[in-house]
Homo-oligomer: A and B are copies of this chain.
């Protein structure tokens, strides 16, 4: 399998999505209908009266779109992007209809696994930004990456 191994990663490396994804009101409502059916993700009028003050995407929709952007970035571990989990995640601003999202990823840490000699873990800070460059989601993820040889 082609791609990068643990030995190819180093703290400070950065990756950006090649493009952006626009989140339309129809997609916000479709995702929410299936996974997060709350009024502020489904209905403009109900959303106006909610804490969001207008239609906003589910945070899990933002997370899912972030993954799409990550898969389409130049970040290519051998064996694929396999997440063990996250250290933290924040949604500092809502995603609004028409927002165009892109990602900026930075490798924070690279280490071999103690229990599994064939693999390691890398820590990546993932920032999802809207078209104004404002962060709408930030997480620190832990990814499983194979070692060479």
0/1 interface trace, chain A 54-67, chain B, CB 8 Å (1 if under): 00001111011101
Interface residues of A (CB under 8 A from B): 31, 34-40, 50-52, 58-61, 63-65, 67-68, 71, 79-91, 139, 144
A82 partner residues in chain B, CB cutoff 8 A: 51-52
Contacts A67-B35, A68-B34 given; does A84 touch B79 at CB 8 Å: no
Interface of A is mostly: mixed
Q: CA separation between A106 and B64, bound complex, in Å?
A: 25
Q: Which of B31, B67, B79, B88 contacts A87 (CB 8 A)?
A: B88
Contacts A51-B82, A89-B89 given; does A68 touch B35 at CB 8 Å: yes
